[in-house]
Amino acid sequence: MAHHLPADNLKKLSESEERFRALVMATSDVVYRMSPDWTVLRQLEGGDFLSGVGEPLTDWMPKYIHPIDQQFVKDAIDDAIRGRHIFQLEHRVLQADGTIGWTSSKAVPILGDNGEIVEWFGAASDITPRKRMEEDLKRARDEAEQQRRLNAIVTSNTPDLVYVFDPNYVFTFANPALLTMWGKTWDEAVGKRLLDNGYEPWHAEMHEREIDHVIATKQAIRGEVAFPHATLGRRVYDYIFSPVFNADGEVEAIAGTTRDISDIKENEQRKNDFISMVSHELKTPLTSVISYVQITQKRAAKNNDTVAADMLDRAGVQLGKMTRMINGFLNVSRLESGRIQIDHEVFDIAALMKEVEDEAKASILTHSIEFESQTGLTVNADREKISQVFNNLLSNAVKYSPSGSPIRVDAKLSGNWVEIAMHDEGAGISKDDLPRLFERYYRVKEAEANHIAGFGIGLYLCSEIVKLHGGKIWAESEPGKGSTFYFALPVHKAE
């Protein structure tokens, strides 16, 4: 005998189902109903995520499920039907706008009086943003892992020392070459500070100050230092500390690279010793030759032998050039060996410029030379060395500018500096050559192409002398517009 529910109960049941459906819709993007064997999609309300279905649909799988995941979804459905348990799966779908999305789908079996499945009621959520974020994160992790492996290969096979400090001077990374130099394992060295890894106190303090400087300025810093190697003994190293920035632009770590330059230093010392020895050996006979020429010049003048006097004058000029060249090599050798001495005295730069001007006008007849200086510009410097800077720059201007062209030398006060500028109207210097002008033995390409004599030591000597005085030196130039060389010395202020 069939039992019929009272009308009030049917109404309440219907209202309960509506409330349940509203609840599901409020918490999900999609609500759907499936036949017991999932062959028919009876109803789907997909909003903006999936296209809705108002009547039963048998070919729902190609319409909604991405081809790559169709078999995956079928297997999950078969498993849920066999076990008569909840279907739950994350998979790709074809969205209402035709693009590929992701959903998290969950369907509950509705059982009949006899325990058979009469329908599946399901809800699904749009998890496309989350999945895309996960894919992006995985891609970033894969790329980071690939980069890590690449970096590991590079740092493991380079003879250079590669390492990383945190802002508290603690090593957070050290490559095998550095561990070998220390004679330590990773566990013994990483996580420790400089003193813990065998650095002498002065050395550790120096690097800590440099790390502080990198953090404060956000700029790299470079230097040279000697350090004992575990097996090779004391070695000389060139190093650079570079800032590592976080997403906010703050320094979160300091990356360091150090190269063993001991062999380079030894070879440079051998070369300097050789140059010094040869220069000394040349200077003695050259001094004798100059004396002989001077004596012969006097005899030629006494005998009114103008031809011989002219030839001897020319020989004297060439001997003078050779003397300056040898003195240049000797000064380079002294600079490299740290044997050059700076004898400070207080003097007026204008007075020194007058001496240089008188000497230049007597010896340089090919150019028009003008000197101009403010008065009262005093410096505390080595007068002879600064005179050498003037003469080297002046000689350079003469060499690289056309005969008859003017050369102007000015001195002025610029803040706390006495600034000297020497301007010529030569061919100018290319932007590729400008940064390297003051390197030892460097010569501009135009000089080599035009066979202009020189060894590339004059400007290097100027630079080193100025730096030894705490000054600065630079050049400004454009091809075809001449060049201006500047150097500045700290102004002397009377106590």
The CA distance from 362 to 360, in Å, is 5
Task: Please identify which residue in the block is written with the tokens 């020429």.
Answer: 293
Pick the CATH number of 16-126 from 3.30.450.20, 3.40.50.170, 2.40.50.1020, 3.30.450.370: 3.30.450.20
| Cβ proximity of 340 and 374 under 8 Å | no
The whole-number pLDDT of residue 13 equals 45
3-state secondary structure of 374: coil
Q: Indicate whether this model's pTM tops 0.95.
A: no
Residues 6+ apart with CB under 8 A from 325: 455
The whole-number pLDDT of residue 297 equals 83
- Please give the helix or strand (H or E) that residue 308 lies within, else none: helix 306-337
* Amino acid letter, 225: V
Query: Which tokens sit at 37?
Result: 């064997």
- In this prediction, the residues of the chain whose per-residue pLDDT falls under 70 are 1-27, 151-152, 154, 272-281, 283-284, 327-339, 445-455, 495
Answer yes or no: CATH 3.30.56.10 is held by domain 345-490. Answer: no
Fold of 265-337: Helix Hairpins (1.10.287)
Phi, psi of 422 (to 5 degrees): -125, 115
Find, among 153, 152, 159, 165, the residue nearest to 241 by Cα.
165
Domain definitions of the chain by residue range: 16-126, 158-260, 265-337, 345-490
Find, among 122, 126, 120, the residue nearest to 96 by Cα.
126
**In CATH terms, are 158-260 and 265-337 the same topology?**
no
The CA distance from 371 to 350, in Å, is 9
The whole-number pLDDT of residue 448 equals 46
Phi, psi of 483 (to 5 degrees): -140, 150
The whole-number pLDDT of residue 490 equals 94
What's 24's DSSP letter?
A: H
Answer yes or no: CATH 3.30.450.20 is held by domain 158-260. Answer: yes
3-state secondary structure of 367: coil
The whole-number pLDDT of residue 34 equals 92
Find, among 113, 46, 57, 117, the residue nearest to 83 by Cα.
117
The whole-number pLDDT of residue 5 equals 44
